[in-house]
């Protein structure tokens, strides 16, 4: 009897030891540190349609985890393979499998700051945005060129860029193209307060036309904000008098050659609705994304009698303004001579 009791105690002891080892092993898989990150490489990007296998591949590629099998075991234990959520996730050095799975299951991704300025075309814009969020260049371009979609927001394919106000905005990296554009539409609506709408009405311009004119002001003066209201006033004078705007940057845009440093008479012959030498009034759309300062410069334009402007011959970035063609001719001759001295012929 005593012998049987000793055998039973020994068996219980063995089972206990193995159970302890097994429990310790399981505990280690769940709570052992398994994440290794470096300061410059600490974000895990998961696409919105990613599968569990894609997450594993990304973790392996960037060497974020030291024991892949243990992570997979814990992930399956917590049913993560069926709950993959896209996003940009901030990983911390020394995270356990449990904390990593909990983070990814929760969808608690970090935000990104989306910034855009110095944009001329829809292609430039789509390229810039697609580098900052998951939405692709093609997805963004498709919507910007979709007549039904742009009109649903109150724009045309030509004017849709007026919607995007250069600034820095907070988004989730996993934002798709439609969500991004609709958020920008909301920002646009917020910008156009009753006060700004009233100012636009007072100069007989719609908000879109204000932005189109502001894009010309922006192209003429991208360095010194203090001169923008003067330039805006000059073009408003021309519009009110039925004069062609005759803005050189619109020719550059029409030609699509932004390397042009000197506009020639031959450039003025391009047959384009953006050629403000051939066609009176505003062009059909903006020639860039005007800064907020350029839009407000139009709304708060300087009242004067100037009709002409010419870049100063000292290449300071400022302009001469004139009320008469004869005075403008004097300034233009000075500037052309300065271009010749610098051997700038095109």
Task: Report residue 246: phi and psi, to 5°.
Answer: 50, 55
d(CA 345, CA 267): 13
Q: Is the pLDDT of residue 31 over 60?
A: yes
**Over 50: is that where the pLDDT of 9 sits?**
no
Spatial CA neighbour of 36 closest among 113, 118, 92, 110? 92
- Mean pLDDT rounded to a whole number for the chain: 91
Give pLDDT, residue 38. Answer: 82
Closest to 306 in 3D by CA, of 322, 289, 328, 284:
322
Q: Residue 12: is its pLDDT beyond 90? A: no
Average confidence (pLDDT) over 286-313: 97
- Alpha-carbon distance of 207 to 191, in angstroms, equals 10
State both tokens at 278.
């051939």
Return d(Cα 44, Cα 111) in angstroms, integer.
13
Assign 26 a pLDDT band (cuts: 50, 70, 90): low
Q: Which two tokens stand for residue 148?
A: 């039904």
Query: What is the average pLDDT across 188-210?
Result: 97
What pLDDT is attached to residue 16?
A: 43
Instruction: Please say if the pLDDT value at position 105 is more than 70.
Output: yes
Mean pLDDT of 243-250: 97
Q: For the ranges 36-40, 175-179, 284-288, which has the lowest average pLDDT?
A: 36-40
- Over pLDDT 90: what percentage of the chain? 87
- pLDDT band of residue 5 (cuts 50, 70, 90) is very low
Find the range with the poorest average confidence among 25-34, 147-156, 245-254, 322-331.
Answer: 25-34
According to the CATH classification, is domain 29-106 in 3.30.1490?
A: yes
Band of pLDDT at residue 8, cut at 50, 70 and 90: very low
Q: What pLDDT score does 345 carry?
A: 84
From CA 145, how far away is CA 120, in angstroms rounded?
16
> In this structure, are residues 283 and 215 in contact, taking their beta carbons and an 8 Å threshold?
no
**Overall average pLDDT of the 238-249 stretch:** 97
Give DSSP secondary structure letters for 142-171: HHHT-HHHHHHTT--TTTGGGG---EEEEE
**Mean pLDDT value across residues 158-164:** 97
Give the pLDDT confidence score for residue 156 in this predicted structure. 97
* Domain range annotation of the chain: 29-106, 114-191, 206-341
The CA distance from 173 to 33, in Å, is 27
Cα distances from 138 to residues 32, 125, 144, 150, 152, in angstroms, run 43, 12, 10, 16, 20
1 or 116, which is more confident: 116
Dist. CA 308–CA 134, nearest whole Å:
46
Entry pTM = 0.88
Residue 21's pLDDT band (boundaries 50, 70, 90)? very low
Percent of the chain exceeding pLDDT 70 equals 91
The helix/strand/coil state of 44 is: strand
Mean pLDDT, range 209-237, rounded to an integer = 97
Residue with tokens 């944009």: 119
Task: Give the three-class secondary structure for 339.
Answer: helix
The mean pLDDT value for 6-20 works out to 45
Q: Tens digits of per-residue pLDDT, 60-81?
A: 999 999 999 999 999 999 999 9
Q: What is the full DSSP assignment across 233-299?
A: HHHHHHHHTT-----HHHHHHHHT-TT--S--GGGGG---TT-TTTS-S--SS-SS---HHHHHHHH
């Amino acid at each position: 009897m005593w012998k049987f009791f000793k055998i039973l105690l020994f068996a219980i002891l063995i089972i206990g030891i193995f159970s302890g080892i097994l429990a310790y092993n399981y505990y280690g898989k769940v709570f052992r540190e398994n994440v290794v990150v470096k300061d410059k490489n600490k974000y895990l990007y998961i696409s919105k349609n990613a599968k569990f296998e894609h997450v594993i591949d990304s973790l392996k590629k960037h060497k974020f985890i030291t024991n892949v099998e243990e992570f997979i075991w814990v992930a399956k234990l917590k049913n993560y393979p069926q709950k993959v959520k896209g996003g940009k996730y901030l990983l911390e050095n020394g995270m356990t499998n449990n904390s990593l799975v909990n983070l990814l299951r929760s969808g608690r991704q970090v935000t990104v700051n989306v910034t855009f300025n110095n944009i001329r075309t829809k292609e430039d814009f789509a390229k810039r945005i697609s580098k900052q969020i998951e939405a692709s260049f093609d997805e963004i371009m498709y919507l910007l060129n979709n007549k039904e979609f742009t009109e649903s927001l109150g724009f045309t394919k030509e004017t849709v860029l007026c919607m995007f106000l250069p600034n820095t905005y907070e988004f989730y990296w996993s934002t798709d193209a439609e969500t991004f554009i609709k958020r920008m539409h909301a920002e646009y609506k917020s910008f156009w307060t009753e006060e700004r709408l009233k100012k636009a009405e007072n100069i007989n311009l719609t908000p879109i036309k204000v932005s189109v004119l502001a894009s010309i002001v922006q192209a003429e003066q991208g360095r010194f904000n203090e001169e923008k209201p003067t330039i805006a006033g000059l073009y408003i004078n021309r519009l009110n008098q039925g004069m062609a705007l005759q803005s050189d940057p619109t020719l550059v845009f029409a030609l699509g050659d932004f390397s042009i440093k000197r506009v020639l008479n031959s450039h003025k012959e391009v047959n384009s609705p953006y050629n403000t030498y051939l066609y009176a009034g505003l062009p059909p759309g903006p020639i860039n994304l005007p800064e907020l300062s350029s839009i407000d410069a139009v709304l708060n334009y300087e009242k004067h009698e100037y009709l002409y402007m010419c870049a100063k011959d000292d290449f300071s970035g400022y302009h001469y303004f004139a009320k008469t063609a004869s005075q403008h001719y004097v300034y233009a001759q000075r500037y052309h001579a300065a271009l010749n001295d610098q051997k700038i012929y095109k």
